Amino acid sequence: MQEPFYKDGLHFECQRCSGCCRFESGYVFLSHQDLDRLALKLSMTREEFLEKYCVKVDMGGVFRISLIEKENCDCIFWRDGGCAVYDARPLQCRSYPFWESQLKSKEDWESLESSCPGVNKGRLHSKAEIEEWLALRKMEKLITI
Ligand code: SF4
Ligand code: SF4
């Protein structure tokens, strides 16, 4: 089997620009594990968390659950210069930028540089680490309704 382009690892280190948490509208989809972790972090039930912080997103037949945004498009949990639920943040956030969609080709990875200044900087993440993120994303099933 052909080795992936990231066989020697990829450099990434978050520069804390908040670009992926703010300014642009987007979805942060939750898995069942995400919901459990976030609800526990905020001492809420799953139902209370869903009611207060989530929105249903029509994916064309099925609905997914996403965190809501503020009026200015910031994530609801972006506060005082950072993520208010950092240690319990959803897997979608924790695994960024090692997403399948960004790792299809070297070009896809390189194209991220313009939106994420942490790409190709700092620590080297091994192929094994990258593939662990990919596997986790596959294992953690997103909530669908
Ligand atoms: S866009 Fe990249 S560098 Fe900026 S906060 Fe997000 S992960 Fe970090
Ligand atoms: S949950 Fe935290 S890390 Fe994820 S988008 Fe919101 S503020 Fe950013």
pLDDT tens digits for 71-82?
Answer: 999 999 999 889
The pLDDT value given to residue 78: 96
Pocket of ligand 1, beta carbon within 6 A:
14-20, 96, 116-118
Looking at the CA of residue 16, tell me the nearest atom of ligand 1. Answer: 5
- Residue 2: pLDDT band (50, 70, 90) is confident
**60-97-4 Cα angle (round to 5):** 95
Domain that residue 78 falls in: 10-139
- Residue 87: pLDDT band (50, 70, 90) is very high
> Which of 12, 20, 22, 86 to mutate for ligand 1's pocket (most ligand atoms within 8 Å of CB)?
20
Ligand at minimal distance from the CA of 83 is 2
**Is residue 5 a part of any domain in this protein?**
no
Q: Is residue 28 pLDDT above 80, yes or no? A: yes
Q: What percent of the chain has pLDDT over 90?
A: 93
- Domain total for the chain? 1
